[in-house]
Homo-oligomer: A and B are copies of this chain.
Amino acid sequence: MARVILPGMPETPTPSESASEPTLEEQIAAYQREFRDLDPQVEQVVSALQRLNRRMNVAYGRQTTTLGISNAEWEVLKALVLSGAPYRLGPGELAKRLGLTPAAMTHRIDRMAAEGLVTRERDENNRVRVIVELTDEGREQWLAAMRLATVFEEDLLQDLSTAERHLLGELLTRLLRRVEEAQPDAGGRLTDLD
């Protein structure tokens, strides 16, 4: 880290030489070094958010893998369960909630139906529409995933007191409110993060 380059030092730092992933502190320091007009406080929040989410996704990925499903499939199960009652949604609605295109949902549902996680049938009253419904098997898988997820999440917040958890939740919710008002549309590609 802190690769100090002195003028008279032809030691061209060979890449991939013990570079090692920078810590958050180092990253902030690097930002300040490379971009003066930067509020370190803001950057700390943003960078921490991004790194945190990346780690969480890795953790969730491991969990769903052990259950024999993909993270993508878990998202669909989640949306269906959270829709409540008969656990039914159309492909278009699912696509909107997950932030991907209808075409992607079509294929995803294909796979999940083949695995017995959901069923796909046409709406009787409107044959253009399709109804995706959670199967018992699918609900079972969601439950199993939830059980693993809650263990991880509880562990993640372990160092925080109840008051701190509450506070953190409040602050994040306020941030969320601000973005959701700014871009009311649910859609949008989700790409990678740092």
Chain A residues close to B by CB (< 8 Å): 1-3, 5, 10, 12-16, 19, 21-22, 24, 27, 30-31, 33-35, 37-39, 41-46, 48-61, 70-72, 75, 78-79, 81-90, 92-93, 96-100, 123-126, 129, 131-132, 143, 146, 150, 153-160, 162, 164-169, 171-176, 178-180, 182-183, 186-194
Contact sample, A vs B, 5 pairs, CB 8 Å cutoff: A22-B82, A24-B173, A42-B150, A50-B56, A55-B183
Copies in the complex: 2
Chain A binding surface, main DSSP class? helix
Q: A61-B191, A78-B194, A174-B160 are in contact. Are A143 and B35 (CB under 8 A)?
A: yes
A129 CB contact (under 8 Å) in B14, B55, B71: B14
